[in-house]
Amino acid sequence: MKKYRNWGFFIFLLPVLLWLFLLIVLPHIDLLIMSFRFEDDYGELTWGMANYKEFFGEPIYWLTFVRTAIYSLVVTFLTFVIGLPVAFFITKVVSVKYKGALTLLVLLPFWVSELVRVYGWMILLRESGVVNHLLLKTGLLAKPVEMLYNDAAMIMGLVYTTMLFMIVPLISVLDSLEDELIEAAFDLGGNARSVLFRIIIPYATPGIVSGSIVVFMLTLGNYLTPNLIGGKNSLWFTEQIYNQFIASFNWNQGSAFGFLLLILSSLIIWLGLKVSKQNLAKVVQ
């Protein structure tokens, strides 16, 4: 009986292993090999570090790389600052019968594609959009203001498009926090600040780290939102990768840029796990 059970487990596991190997591991190995190939002065493909040297030799590349990493961290922090009160309100403040409805309201905008949501913000914020129209009607503005195509609009769009992936892990972990623990802390003389930093945040750390990893990875690899809302002045490293692959058709250089982005994301996530004293197995539970 045990033998058949082991075979059954292997049969169900096989599609997952094939999916991981064929669609993730194998393409990444191929891209890694391509990143070390480049054309020499005679147009012949050869091996070397020229693609990586090109990255460090051009300031526009590594400055965009650093800018993308910093803004991704900013977006992750903002989603946490906004998402924690929302998750706490849903799990600990409102009545139980309203939790499902409020959670549904959080999920509702994400039932449509990211493209539709980004275009919705563009309709709201453009010069002839809803926000400018209301401000002109109320007399707060004398003429329309361009609210798009800047870093602030890009960060706002990225926070909005990734907010769900912070709120859901926080709701999951805070839902298991006993209300009596918070009440006991206040009874013993604690204030809102001490309860937040000594009870709620430490208890919610696995959810915070889990949400931060997902939000950071999605933001770092996002192409659509920075391109549409940020415009040409808000450079994002994924745009550099896109230009190498599609515009320049330089797959070798694009592969090198992609692996540099992968190394960056892995390094920052590793540092985040070390600082928070969490391990990946605990976070993904």
Model pLDDT for residues 70-84, shown as the tens digit of each residue: 999 999 999 999 999
| Residue 97 in domain | yes
Is position 17 within any domain?
A: no
Q: What are phi and psi of 144, to 5 degrees?
A: -60, 145
Q: What pTM, to 2 d.p., does this model score?
A: 0.88
Q: Rounded to an integer, what distance in angstroms lies between the CA atom of residue 79 and that of residue 217?
A: 13
- Cα–Cα distance, 129 to 280 (Å, whole number): 44
Would 23 be classed as within a structural domain? no
How does residue 217 score in pLDDT terms, banded at 50, 70 and 90? very high
Do 225 and 158 contact (CB within 8 A), yes or no?
yes
Domain count, the chain: 1
Q: Is residue 98 part of a domain?
A: yes
CATH number at residue 258: 1.10.3720.10
Please answer whether residues 257 and 221 qualify as being in contact, where contact means their C-beta atoms are separated by less than 8 angstroms. Answer: no
Residue range 147-189, pLDDT digits in tens: 888 888 899 999 999 999 999 999 999 998 888 888 888 888 8
* Residues of the domain holding 131: 50-283
